[in-house]
A and B are shown apart, each in its own frame.
Chain A
Amino acid sequence: MPETSTKPELLPPAALARLEELARRYPTREALMLPALWMVQREHGWISTEAMQYVAKLLDVSPVRVYGVVSFYHMFHERAPGKYNIQVCQTLSCSLLGAEKLLQHLQDTLGIAHGEVCPNGRFMVQRVECLGACEHAPVCQINDDFVFDLTPAALDAKLAELP
């Protein structure tokens, strides 16, 4: 467990309590890696090196292992993402049904390409691989939420109604 310090804990007490409860379901602390990292990203939007060291201490593993894991999984952000992360699937069914056009459209209207955040920080665009919703191709996810059966116009409408 981390020592007490004047710095605020990177995870709120409720999350830490949930993590300890979850710990009873696994024989090793290292197995809490993904759950802990998701909690951090939920709390802060991304995972800093400071957060990685924090998780390393929580799990009693070497910090470089946390770093290796974060850099391996594509859903973890090592830099602050936009408020809305638009993840456009570019695998076969979605491409067959117009994903390239969607991506080009986002580039034209928002001015950003893969991995980039627009200047006001509202949107980030990511090219992602098959999202497992091919019957609604082309699809994207905005943060955790699916948006199905897209066209450039439908995507514009969806983005416009976001708070």
Chain B
Amino acid sequence: MTSGTKESPAVQRILSLHFDTPESERLATYTASGGYSACRRAFARPPEDVTEEVKKSGLRGRGGAGFPAGVKWGFIPKNTERPMYLCINADESEPGTFKDRYIMERDPHMLLEGILITCWAIRSHDAYIYIRGEFEDARRVLQAAIDEAYAAGHLGANPCGSGWRIDVTIHRGAGAYICGEETGLLESLEGKKGYPRIKPPFPAVVGLFQSPTIINNVETIACVPWILEHGGEAYARIGVGKSTGTKLWCISGHVARPGVYETPLGVPFRTLLEEYAGGMRHPDRPLKAVIPGGSSVPVLTASEALGVNMDYESLGQLGTMLGSAGVMVIEEGTCMVWALAVITRFYAEESCGQCTPCREGTSWVNDIMWRLERGGATPEDIALVHNLCDNMIGKTICVLADAMVMPAKSFMKKFKPEFDAHIAAGRCPLPQPVRD
């Protein structure tokens, strides 16, 4: 099957193998390449074994937090009369991220098989796929795949002969980034505003409809069939250190070939940029900055990025995060103050408004950022924003506030001269900031 050492892994891709196959979304294509056999292996094993296998794989949540999936599954209460629920977080709204869309549009059965195995492992009969409202195309493809799966007996009362009822329902969101937060998702699914919940209690104990619930990202679950087919240890041999397996990278911004690319974790950023994304789009505009994991993580300077490997630990050592793997590449000539203002605008728009520091702080910081860019800011504003960030981070119900603070503080620190120049000039000093 697969063998190879960490130095020259034989496995380069797991998830994207069929992204470009014609009719890859059809059941026939999926079964032709061996689909719906991994779940049969899982059904033949005790559920705890399946969880152990996923634990062994070292698979970490691919939504952004990077929490080990097998460990999360282990949190389900052993003695409970309440039903277990599985929620698939397909809300994919982290700026710069679009990998889950590819999985749902191009290999939905891989996700469905992952759901089957996960439901078996956590003793759940019901899975909900919470998909962002804007992904209507993906939703249609996914629903068609679900219909095919039901018709073929891979879902329903007796999926693949397991005797374990598994039903999958797609639940369409309606335009709110905060519904990608685990408990915001639960509230939204229950029919309310997407207000994240105070914790404790945690979803594994009190989740959907007051019942124990596991919430996992699309990509995380999509990895599960391979792990059951080839073993957790084989998965753990791919990648580097505690960053096991492969990763779908979303590369966008000022590159020649933006897109989704899959490599083992630990790939050098330089390789991603030059070999996969075709390098910078304009030869005379070199790399200036990179946001490696969706806008909610600290930014890297060009020199930092060009020297880093893309894995959880290496990025952590540079003070940033792998996050959602939404890699946004920024070229020289871009005004970083303006870029930050665009980012803070996102958080101000998406704050649910429930708790004081985020509701007021995101809007205040955003207003100051645009004032910095367009005029009217004072020298005290930089220190003010730093202090407001300190008053927001770690003091809120969920981490949306932190998600704004990460880019805000890192941009202001690493590109300080630009911010100072804006204040000195009273507005953006660039004659025509590059914006196209």
List residues of chain A with CB under 8 Å of any chain B CB: 22, 25-28, 30-35, 37-38, 59, 61, 65, 68-69, 72-76, 87, 90-93, 95-98, 100-101, 128-137, 141, 144-146
- The CA-CA distance from A35 to B189 in the complex, in Å, is 10
A73 touches B133 (CB 8 A): yes
Interface centre among B94, B172, B193, by most chain A C-beta atoms within 10 angstroms, is B193
Q: How many A-B residue pairs have CB under 8 A?
A: 156
B98 touches A132 (CB 8 A): yes
**Contacts A/B (CB < 8 Å), 11 sampled:** A26-B209, A65-B192, A73-B175, A90-B342, A92-B328, A93-B96, A96-B334, A128-B175, A132-B92, A132-B101, A137-B258
A92/B191 contact (C-beta < 8 A), A34-B174, A130-B94 known: no
Quick one: which of A35, A128, A135, A144 contacts B171, CB cutoff 8 A?
A35
A129 touches B436 (CB 8 A): no
Q: Which of B71-108 contact A (CB under 8 A)?
A: 92-98, 100-101
A130 touches B95 (CB 8 A): yes
Quick one: which of A69, A74, A135 contacts B259, CB cutoff 8 A?
A135
A59 touches B339 (CB 8 A): no
B95 touches A134 (CB 8 A): yes
Interface centre among A22, A59, A69, by most chain B C-beta atoms within 10 angstroms, is A69
Quick one: which of A31, A128, A145 contacts B191, CB cutoff 8 A?
A31
Q: Which of B252-268 contact A (CB under 8 A)?
A: 252-254, 258-260
Q: Which of B325-357 contact A (CB under 8 A)?
A: 326, 328, 330, 334, 339, 342-343, 345-346, 349-350, 352
B174 touches A73 (CB 8 A): yes
A97/B191 contact (C-beta < 8 A), A92-B95, A134-B252 known: no
A129 touches B193 (CB 8 A): no
- The CA-CA distance from A135 to B167 in the complex, in Å, is 33
Q: A74-B174, A132-B101, A144-B137 are in contact. List 7 more A-B contacts (CB 8 A).
A: A72-B176, A72-B193, A92-B295, A93-B95, A130-B94, A130-B346, A135-B259
- What residues of B have a CB within 8 angstroms of the CB of A32 in the complex? 191
A34 touches B188 (CB 8 A): yes
Interface string of B352-392 (1 = CB under 8 A from A): 10000000000000000000000000000000000000000
CB distance from B141 to the nearest CB of A (A): 13
A141 touches B134 (CB 8 A): yes
A97/B436 contact (C-beta < 8 A), A28-B190, A91-B342 known: yes
Closest 10 CB pairs of A and B: A33-B191, A73-B174, A134-B252, A75-B175, A74-B175, A30-B191, A98-B436, A144-B136, A135-B258, A130-B95
- What residues of A have a CB within 8 angstroms of the CB of B100 in the complex? 132
A134 touches B191 (CB 8 A): no
- What residues of A have a CB within 8 angstroms of the CB of B209 in the complex? 26-28, 31
CB distance from A62 to the nearest CB of B (A): 12
Interface string of B226-267 (1 = CB under 8 A from A): 000000000000000000000000111110001110000000
